[in-house]
Amino acid sequence: MAKPANSLKKPVLQKPATKELAPKKTAPKKTAPKKTATKTLVAKKAAPAAPSSKRTASKPKLAEPAKQAFAGFGPEALAFLEGLAENNNRDWFQAHKDTYETHLRAPMGACVEALAFAFAAHDIPLTGDAKSSLFRVNRDVRFSKNKNPYKTNVGAVLSRDGGKGAKGVLYLQIAAGGDHFMAAGFYGPEPDDLARFREAISAAPDKWVKVEAAMTKAKLAFRRTDALVRMPKGFDEFADSDIADALKLKSFVVTAKLSGADVSSPNMVGKVLKFATAAMPLLQFGWTALRA
């Protein structure tokens, strides 16, 4: 029976198996990598702090355009226009382009944006911005006998959608020779639109007479330089009516002058705001007539 006894002692030799388990117990104690990983995560969380500080530093740059409030057109602007009128050629313009950009285009853009803000505050549905509202200084000379390459004025438009091609706009112009003015209405409408405008006047003459009365009260005169001498075709029956002169118009525009003192002052915004408010009956009538 001694052999069975020896066979029972053999399992004692399995102790090294216990030793093999010992390293497995110590393996989970390797917490250093986890701590390192945690530190890495903390470092990663802290990393975004740098970009946020950069954003804070850049805020004054974003605010700079707001500081460029409209202060009026200075003497440099008017001197440039007078100089361009006398030297309407590319060499002169290129030599003075910085003056144009700084003293004419930038102030006109600031004026437009100040007006857009003022119009919104007074529920006037006209808007614009420095980028899209200003007209180019270059002339289209393809079909003109006058081949001067540049306009001697700076113009801008405000409309319901901010675009230059909208129907019913407000226009501003600063020009050489003191030809500064503002205009509102419907200039040179297409034949179909002109017909609709005349039909709206003849269909509701009382409404149009009220528009004319409002313009007269505000001392705003209609532009009649291109008006017809005779009644337009199809409207002869209104030849002796109160709306006869209106039906002869080819453009429905009112204008008002801006003095040198007006354009050189930030108060120009207030004057244009008053003009736009007075012209609203005309614009509203036209928008309804053209279903625009």
The full DSSP string for 50-115 is: HHHHHHHHHHHHHHHHHH-------HHHHHHHHHHHH--SHHHHHHTHHHHIIIIIHHHHHHHHHH
Angle at 193 (CA atoms; ends 126, 242), nearest 5 degrees: 95
- In this predicted structure, the answer to whether residue 230 has a pLDDT above a threshold of 60 is yes
Q: Which domains does the chain have, with CATH numbers?
A: 71-289 (3.30.930.20)
Question: What pTM, to 2 d.p., does this model score?
Answer: 0.76
The pLDDT assigned to 68 comes to: 67
Q: What are phi and psi of 92, to 5 degrees?
A: -65, -45
Given a contact cutoff of 8 angstroms between Cβ atoms, the answer to whether 290 and 167 are in contact is: yes
Q: How many residues does the chain have?
A: 292
CA distance 83 to 77: 10
Q: What is the C-alpha to C-alpha distance for residues 167 and 184, in angstroms, rounded to an integer?
A: 11
CA distance 219 to 199: 26
Neighbour-count burial of 122, counting CB atoms closer than 10 A to its CB (0-12 exposed, 13-18 middle, 19+ buried): exposed
Percent of the chain with pLDDT over 90: 74
User: How would residue 283 be classed by pLDDT, with cut points 50, 70 and 90?
Assistant: very high
Rounded CA separation 224/255 (Å) = 11
Kindly indicate the confidence band of residue 65, based on its pLDDT and cuts at 50, 70 and 90: very low
How confident is the prediction for the chain on average, in pLDDT?
Answer: 84
Identify whether the C-beta of residue 155 lies closer than 8 Å to the C-beta of residue 172: yes
pLDDT in tens, 146-189: 999 999 999 999 999 999 999 999 999 999 999 999 999 999 99
Task: Calculate the CA 140 to chain-centre distance.
Answer: 24
What are the tens digits of pLDDT across the range 253-276?
999 999 999 999 999 999 999 999
Which of 286, 219, 226 is closest to 254 using CA atoms?
219
